Amino acid sequence: MAKSNKNTRIFWSEDEIKLLKKLYPNQAVQSVADILGRSSSAVFQKAAKLGLRKDTFHPDWSIQEESLLRKLYPTNTVKDIAKRIGRSVRAVCDKASQLELFQRSAWSKKDLNLLRKLYPSKTTLEVANKIGRTAAAVRQRAYHLSLKKRKYRRRKRI
């Protein structure tokens, strides 16, 4: 495509717009401009008009990095994972979000034993405070362990 002087407007073809939509989120503006034969400001302005945004996720994660992230994310801290993979904490969080990964904080044997002992007779909030977990976490773990609350019968007054 021929370069234009500042006063000449060159319209965007459908093919250029398709290519812009494909390349813009993951590549530098100047790189897209070079491929399209346009100025970086023209690319930036057209992308803005089309509502295109840059991906917040690091575009060049290797298959090995993604695999390691999937393996480590449920049971390790983000900081430890970032250090091991060699990425920033933000990059790890963003990629995990993109891959819809969730972390599970492991329950120690001591916590599980305490839960089994206390859950039937104490309130969920009391158990949560004792173990240092949220009430929702206690309810969920108790459900998975099939723990039940004791039913109390009222004594009849004579």
pLDDT in tens, 87-123: 888 888 888 888 888 776 677 788 899 999 999 999 9
Asked if residue 47 lies in contact with residue 20, where contact means CB atoms within 8 angstroms, the answer is yes
Whether the model pTM is above 0.85: no
Report the pLDDT value the prediction gives residue 7, as an integer from 0 to 100: 58
The pLDDT of 13-38, averaged and rounded, is 87
Asked if residue 138 lies in contact with residue 149, where contact means CB atoms within 8 angstroms, the answer is no
Question: Which of these, 52, 56, 64, lies nearest to 88 by C-alpha position?
Answer: 56
Report the pLDDT value the prediction gives residue 52, as an integer from 0 to 100: 86
